[in-house]
Amino acid sequence: AQSVAQPEDQVNVAEGNPLTVKCTYSVSGNPYLFWYVQYPNRGLQFLLKYITGDNLVKGSYGFEAEFNKSQTSFHLKKPSALVSDSALYFCAVRDKDRGASGTYKYIFGTGTRLKVLA
Amino acid sequence: NAGVTQTPKFQVLKTGQSMTLQCAQDMNHEYMSWYRQDPGMGLRLIHYSVGAGITDQGEVPNGYNVSRSTTEDFPLRLLSAAPSQTSVYFCASSYLTYQTDIYEQYFGPGTRLTVT
């Protein structure tokens, strides 16, 4: 089955420093990968996705993600962290097989809490 | 557009009680889904739907029922609540394109459910 792993429960970074939130994937076939962010007491918001093509994907709020096929990783990055980036970040992957209804479901990681310190 | 709305925001149930979590979207999205979020477990898919009259099971469907009578609404029913169903529940929706089937989801604000 397809899966994603987020090896860090929490990442701390100082404001202004670059940040990385890690995600590794295990899929058969082409991976279709996503990043979402969840601010406190809110639903998830889409940040970016990788389908094919350029390994560096740019998304919302200055975030980008680097797809690395040899390392089976899809790490989320930002060159300069803001305190307002503090949130819970989820990596997700599209499942390999269609369900009985003919479409796919999506599998989420366990989430990484990012704390940006002023 | 209001986007994806969920009611109620909070709910406390006693074991064995039933209730329905409401979800509605005004974006004319074909795809709708329900997830539960638990500490250390991330988001787990309960049920999803690709259109009115069509539903499918996710990873953790037991104890939950769904139906989809309209494009806009996708209620989640707990027939006999158990403490293990204490969680935060999120509804999400998306466009559905059969050519690519690769799309981002829009999430509601969540319902925090406690079963005692």
The position carrying tokens 């997700």 is: A92
Establish if B90 touches chain A: CB-CB under 8 angstroms. yes
Note whether B19 contacts A: Cβ–Cβ < 8 A. Answer: no
Mean pLDDT, to the nearest integer, of A20-44? 92
Q: Report the amino acid identity of residue A68.
A: N
B99 pLDDT band (50/70/90 cuts)? low
Q: Does the structure show a pLDDT above 90 at A64? A: yes
Q: Decide if B47 contacts B56 (C-beta within 8 A).
A: yes
The pLDDT assigned to A53 comes to 84
Average pLDDT over residues A42-57: 91
Mean pLDDT of chain A: 93
Contact A94 B101 (CB under 8 A): yes
**Strand stretches in chain B, DSSP E:** 4-7, 10-13, 19-25, 31-38, 42-51, 54-57, 64-66, 76-78, 87-94, 106-107, 111-115
* A114, pLDDT greater than 80: yes
- The answer, for B39 touching chain A at a CB cutoff of 8 Å, is no
Give the tokens for residue B24. 């509605």
For residue B98, pLDDT over 70 is answered with: no
Asked if A105 and B45 come within 8 Å (Cβ–Cβ), the reply is yes
| Stretch among A81-90, A96-105, B3-12 having the lowest mean pLDDT | A96-105
Q: Give me the half-sphere count of Cα atoms (radius 13 Å) on the Cβ side of residue B9.
A: 4
Q: Which of A94, A100, A111 comes nearest B42 by C-beta? A: A111
What's the Cα-to-Cα distance from B39 to each of A24, A87, B87, rounded to whole Å?
A: 20, 14, 9
Do A22 and A91 contact (CB within 8 A), yes or no? no
- The 10s digit of each residue's pLDDT in B34-79 is 999 998 888 999 999 988 999 999 999 999 999 999 999 999 999 9
Chain A environment of B100 (Cβ under 8 Å): 51
